[in-house]
Amino acid sequence: MNNKIKKILPQIITVLFVLGIFGFFTFNAQINMDNRGIDFGFGFLTQESSFDVQFSLIEYSGSHSYARAYLVGLLNTLLVSFISIIFCTILGVIFGVARLSSNYLIRNSAAWYVEFFRNIPLLLQIFFWYYAALRALPVPEKAGPWFGVTYMTIKGYYIPSFIWTNLDIFLYSILAVIISIIIISTYAKKLQENEGKQIPVFFISLGLIFVLPALTFFIGGVSLDFGIPVLKQLSKTSYVFDGGIGLPPELIALVLALSLYTSTFVAECVRAGIQGIGKGQKEAAASVGLTPNQILKLVVMPQALRIIIPPTTNQYLNLTKNSSLAAAIAYPDLVLVFAGTALMQTGKAIEIVSITMLTYLSISLAIAAIMNWYNKKIEIKEK
């Protein structure tokens, strides 16, 4: 009994202490806010925001609510994080593998790349890409087309917009493709395990991806038109592109900076993962007659991934949190739109900052959950 109390008592005291501190600050804040006539509440979220945002994935204008403005900022944060995570992964894998190349030039260039971008503060890199882009890019009227119909200008990258008819039928066909690929690959795996036969899953899938959606155009009544960006004169010397979709230079600079910076850390994770696999593994694989490609795909990578995933998850989380630096260059992310303009217009500092913090926390936890699930999936299953 005595022993039990000894064990539990310190824990209770600790909990009470923490709660006490929390209570102290909460009540203090409450009283200070009362004294200064600030009231606490989330009612402002439904009020009209009355400010516009430069770039939004959903329909938004100042006549929408603050809650909608929050959503605009959140989606912009997710967009820039998502694109950057994809790019930094591709770059990271390339440079991570390149650092282990037997070619002197490739190996050392990769090492230089990693050391260079890893050791310059991210905010400086964001400013560099932004102002470098602003200085280097042509004004709209002087921009020549890239790939025929896209224009890279100081005011943004203009691409054609898609104007769909019967988009839903097209999306169903994509869904059908995904389901059939899953069925085929499961069947192929069984066939391989039971009868040792292999069927070309890759080519069948490729065929499905092209054929089925294409069919909807011919018999499903689906059609796609493009809204081509057209040059428009604003004044004697300034022009802008009208129609199409304009990706703001802020987004481009941010994606560049975030993916280059984070890719160096991913590259190091990849290198560590590959180097963590013993040489004996490769030699053993070669001795049972696997080709170099098969060795990488079937022996090295599955094991290396287990080392690579956890630290890479950290880098993805860092990237997402770092995306909040967007505010410095006017990219309307969550921090700029919600914790910036909305906070200023409403003055609800405590409410808005807590919502923003909770949002970043949720995004991070969601990414961690996805990566943990993937990590579980690829870890060694003891039989």
The residues, ordered by sequence, that sit 6+ positions from 346 with a Cβ below 8 Å of its Cβ are: 44, 47, 66, 352
- Residue 275 Cβ, how far from another protein at the closest point, in Å? 42
Amino acid at 153: T
Please give the Cα distance from 246 to 153 (Å, whole number): 10
* Contact assessment for residue 141 and residue 241, using Cβ atoms and an 8 Å cutoff: no
Beta bridge pairs of residue 46: none
Q: In the complex, which residues of this chain contact another protein (CB under 8 A)?
A: 16, 19-20, 23-24, 27-28, 31-33, 35-38, 50-54, 62, 131, 134-135, 139, 154-155, 232-238, 240, 242, 248-250, 327-330, 332, 336, 340-341, 343-347, 349
Measured CA to CA in angstroms, residue 241 lies from 228, 244, 264 at distances of 9, 8, 35
Please give the Cα distance from 65 to 63 (Å, whole number): 7
* Contact assessment for residue 312 and residue 269, using Cβ atoms and an 8 Å cutoff: yes
Nearer to another protein, 9 or 38 (CB): 38
- Residue 131 Cβ, how far from another protein at the closest point, in Å? 7
**CA angle at 323 for the pair 72 and 271, rounded to the nearest 5°:** 135
Taking residue 66's Cβ as centre, other Cβ atoms within 10 Å add up to 25
Nearer to another protein, 171 or 327 (CB): 327
Nearer to another protein, 96 or 332 (CB): 332
Nearer to another protein, 92 or 249 (CB): 249
- Residue 59 Cβ, how far from another protein at the closest point, in Å? 14
- Residue 233 Cβ, how far from another protein at the closest point, in Å? 8
- Residue 189 Cβ, how far from another protein at the closest point, in Å? 49
Q: Is 87 helix (H, G, I), strand (E, B) or coil?
A: helix
- Residue 60 Cβ, how far from another protein at the closest point, in Å? 12
Nearer to another protein, 28 or 186 (CB): 28
- Name the nearest CA neighbour of 185 among 170, 199, 167: 199
Nearer to another protein, 127 or 172 (CB): 127
Beta bridge pairs of residue 246: 158
